[in-house]
Amino acid sequence: MSLIKDKIDPEKLPQHVAIIMDGNGRWAKSRGEERTFGHKNAINAVRNAINACNEINIPYLTLYTFSSENWNRPAEEVDTLMNLLTETLLVEADEIFSKGLRMHVIGDLEKLPPLVREQLLQVIDLTKENTKGNLVLAISYGSQKEILNAVKNISSDVKEGKVEVENIDEKLFESYLYTKDFPPIDLLIRTSGEIRISNFLLWQIAYAELQFLNVLWPDFTKDIFFQCIVDYQNKERRYGLTGEQVKIQ
Ligand code: IPE
Ligand code: IPE
Ligand code: MG
């Protein structure tokens, strides 16, 4: 029985949590191992995050799994990451399904090895009727590219007369993002102690609460996640208003 979990107010849950799962390489190095050893030991932490969300019914969890910039890492590390993704999907697909989770992927899937892409599409298809929660994997994802794509697509729709320039507002813009079907991020967590965003969901975190943890990703536990939720619930989200205005809302 987790005492931290008991402190969570089920009425004030974030609707969408995003995690930058960072620190696998350093975790491995501190043990005198290769970086890829850290990636292999990251799977359990991923499971912890998914299970924690599932247990308290957070409807959307987005995991930064592989960035567009991560393609520039040594080929051997990229290969290991892609293989791990395929292996993990194979093993975990049933588990994701039986938890009632619907899986989504955001990012430039064209760049992925065909086998990885196919497997992702299979799990997306397998889980498409599930409604208990949504697991969004950001793979080959870069936020600036996502925003540029939206701008390009809006521009061509303007050119074709499908969109009026005067009608371009936040809502319309969001409908061109990969995340169009998901609510904005309420809570962004980054592990590993780095205090940066690394091209992740720049538009979608406009009013997110940010938490940077001094924990390397393979050490991430359910209780750490629950503590993040408790800390989130202790924040006053003002959206530009005064504290007094927020209290009488
Ligand atoms: C995060 O851990 C995993 C990916 C980016 C794929 P890192 O591999 O970035 O680990 P560090 O940050 O070098 O320790
Ligand atoms: C961000 O971590 C990407 C993922 C966690 C998938 P990085 O390790 O790539 O970020 P930087 O390079 O430290 O900014
Ligand atoms: Mg890193």
Number of domains in the chain: 1
Mutation test of ligand 2: which of 70, 72, 78, 196 has the most ligand atoms closer than 8 Å to its C-beta?
70
Q: Is residue 177 part of a domain?
A: no
What is residue 246's predicted lDDT score, i.e. its pLDDT? 96
- Please give the single-letter amino acid code of residue 67: S
Active site residue 22: yes
User: What's residue 235's pLDDT?
Assistant: 98
Q: Which of 43, 77, 198, 205 to mutate to test the pocket of ligand 2 (most atoms within 8 A of CB)?
A: 198
Mind listing the pLDDT tens digit of every residue in the chain (249 residues)?
A: 679 999 999 999 999 999 999 999 999 999 999 999 999 999 999 999 999 999 999 999 999 999 999 999 999 999 999 999 999 999 999 999 999 999 999 999 999 999 999 999 999 999 999 999 999 999 999 999 999 999 999 999 999 999 999 999 999 999 999 999 999 999 999 999 999 999 999 999 999 999 999 999 999 999 999 999 999 999 999 999 999 999 998
Residue 26 in contact with ligand 1 by CB distance below 6 A: yes
Told to judge if 219 belongs to the known catalytic residues of this protein, a careful annotator would answer no
- The per-residue pLDDT for 1 is 63
Helix (H), strand (E) at residue 171? helix 170-174
Cβ(139) – ligand 1 distance below 6 Å = no
Distance 109 CA to ligand 1 centre (A): 20
* Nearest bound ligand to the CA of residue 26: 1
Q: How far are the Cα atoms of 33, 120, 133, 215 from residue 75, in angstroms, in the given order? A: 18, 21, 34, 27
Is 161 contained in some domain?
A: no
> Is the backbone of residue 130 left (phi > 0), alpha (psi -120 to 50) or beta?
beta
d(CA 108, CA 139): 7
**Where do we find the tokens 């889980």?**
127
Atom of ligand 2 nearest to the CA of 25: 8
Reduced to 3 states (helix: H, G, I; strand: E, B; else coil), residue 135 is: strand
Whole-number pLDDT of residue 249? 84
Task: Kindly report the CATH number assigned to the domain that includes residue 135.
Answer: 3.40.1180.10
Which residues does 239 contact at the CB level (< 8 Å), separation at least 6? Answer: 207
Q: Which domain holds residue 114?
A: 13-142+184-234
Which class for 69: exposed (0-12), middle (13-18), buried (19 or more C-beta within 10 A)?
exposed
Residue 130 in any domain: the answer is yes
188 in any annotated domain: yes
Give, for 188, the enclosing helix (H) or strand (E).
strand 187-190
